[in-house]
Chains A and B, each alone.
Chain A
Amino acid sequence: RKEVEQDPGPFNVPEGATVAFNCTYSNSASQSFFWYRQDCRKEPKLLMSVYSSGNEDGRFTAQLNRASQYISLLIRDSKLSDSATYLCAMNGNFNKFYFGSGTKLNVKP
């Protein structure tokens, strides 16, 4: 079983839509969780950290559900510029750090 799993998508949504992605993880001991955004042929860039209490930054909301072992990212009022691949990441045992393979989002006019 993979440490981190994401639906690869693509999620095709119209501008203005609300879209949500989940990322499941297998290591219940994981403490640090993140969402990164990666544009085509570019490096991942930190979008937001995910705290136990949730985290909101403008149109973006991240949540952590420890009981079900997943994190989520909600994007409201999608913009064309939100089109990208969204990677989740988290720490594991023995100082390891794991990335998901990403969920591709296409926002269409």
Chain B
Amino acid sequence: DAMVIQNPRYQVTQFGKPVTLSCSQTLNHNVMYWYQQKSSQAPKLLFHYYDKDFNNEADTPDNFQSRRPNTSFCFLDIRSPGLGDAAMYLCATSSRVQETQYFGPGTRLLVL
């Protein structure tokens, strides 16, 4: 089945230790998004790619970086995770920016 896959599903890291989360999609969508969601809050958009065009949200900390080496894959790098970065990280895709977004199952990050 066409889908959005995220790995790992759970990630435990130490304070300050870099971590990379991955997302892949078989939907062949042009747009890929990374969101951060904390408990009882709205998903917060960190950045999105339209093809290779990278769009960073103004309030996304510099600690967060992203790479999209090809249509299918997108990575979220957290260079120096802090305790406040513990959250669910959701990857989503859409065919165009204003179209329906389809989410992966998320990666739950715990920072010790």
Contacts and interface: CB of A to CB of B under 8 A. Distances in A.
A45 interface: yes
Nearest to A3: B42
Contacts of B101: 34, 46, 89, 97
Interface string A78-95: 000000000101010001
A4 B42 contact: yes
Contact of A100 (B42, B98, B100, B106): B42
A99 B42 contact: yes
Interface stretch (A36-44, A51-59, A61-69): A36-44
Contacts, number: 50
B103 interface: yes
Nearest to B6: A43
A95 B40 contact: no
Interface in A1-33: 4, 8, 31-32
Contact of A99 (B43, B100, B104): B43
A32 B101 CA distance: 11
Q: Which 3 A-B pairs have the closest CB atoms?
A: A43-B103, A101-B42, A99-B42
Given A4-B42, A95-B98, A101-B42, 19 more contacts: A31-B98, A34-B101, A41-B88, A42-B105, A43-B103, A43-B104, A43-B106, A44-B43, A44-B90, A44-B103, A45-B103, A46-B102, A49-B100, A95-B48, A96-B45, A97-B97, A97-B101, A99-B35, A100-B42
